[in-house]
Amino acid sequence: MKKTRNLLLLMGILALAAVSTSCGESGKASSGTTAAAAASDQGGSEAQGKTEKAGEEKSSEVKTMSGADLQALEDDKDKKETALVIDVRSPEEYAEGHVKFAVNMPLDTLKDRLGELEPWKDKTLILYCNSGKKSGEAAKLLAENGFKDVRNADGVKQYDYKLVKYGNITGEELMKKKDEADLIVDVREAKDYEKDHFDKAVNVSVDKLSDLDSLLPENKDALILTHCYSGNRSQKAAEYIADKGYTNVWNTLDGTKEMEYSFH
């Protein structure tokens, strides 16, 4: 009887040990599963964070633009105010003939001039060259630097644009060039000219551009700047002067309606 009790006691101890071991292993597995799940969740969060960050830094898509659409925009005095057109060819190619309201920013200098385009970060920028190759590179550069609406237009060898030979500058460039100019042509109304104007400025009506004939310098390479309210009247004056053989004529795209000038 004593042996039987001892045997039963031993069997109970062994059974209890087995249960204890089983519970320990089960607890360990549960802990491991929880840790793995936590690691998975953390990894998932990190991956999601990286995806969101990549989404934030993703470049905007460069759009294409036909030559016909660009020419139509240039011919519309109101629509041309909604975009900045950039000729990324060399200064020599630009001088030989360019789209009417385009400014010149050669591809090899564009990266260093991005700050000048900051006001256009959320507006439309249209680029072109001869074939679309250089302007495509320039458009990609702008898109990668956060410019939202960048368009690559047909080049001058792909579309028969109405090309002009005077240059275009921004209002800031006018302020830098005004002191070295040989002549500034103010095409605003006489009443506004009389209120205030730049030194070296003469006033002419857009309807009487022939009045300029007696005011133009003899030197065909003289620096001549034109400006008005929005760049439209002054564009006509610049074209009139360039057609007379003057080679250093610059129209100001930013008029007094768009920029507050300090005339002195």
Structure tokens, 14? 């062994």
- Residues near 111 by Cβ (< 8 Å), separated by ≥ 6? 141
**pLDDT tens string 137-179:** 999 999 999 999 999 999 999 999 999 999 999 999 999 999 9
Active site residues: 129
Amino acid at 18: A
Predicted confidence at residue 50, as pLDDT, reads 45
Coil vs helix vs strand at 162: coil
Please report which confidence band the pLDDT of residue 186 belongs to, taking 50, 70 and 90 as the band edges: very high
Please report which confidence band the pLDDT of residue 38 belongs to, taking 50, 70 and 90 as the band edges: very low
Cα–Cα distance, 119 to 179 (Å, whole number): 25
Widest CA span in the chain:
140
| Number of neighbours of residue 73 by Cβ within 10 angstroms | 22
Q: Which residue has the tokens 């070295």?
A: 180
In DSSP terms, 201 is beta-bridged to 184
- Residue closest to 162 by CA, chosen among 33, 45, 70: 70
**pLDDT tens string 206-229:** 999 999 999 999 999 999 999 999
Q: Which fold has domain 167-252?
A: Oxidized Rhodanese; domain 1 (3.40.250)
Structure tokens, 175? 């302020």
Q: Which fold has domain 63-164?
A: Oxidized Rhodanese; domain 1 (3.40.250)
Q: Do domains 63-164 and 167-252 have the same CATH topology?
A: yes
Cα–Cα distance, 27 to 35 (Å, whole number): 12
**pLDDT tens string 81-101:** 999 999 999 999 999 999 999
Cα–Cα distance, 145 to 120 (Å, whole number): 12
Domains of the chain by residue range: 63-164, 167-252
In DSSP terms, 169 is beta-bridged to 252
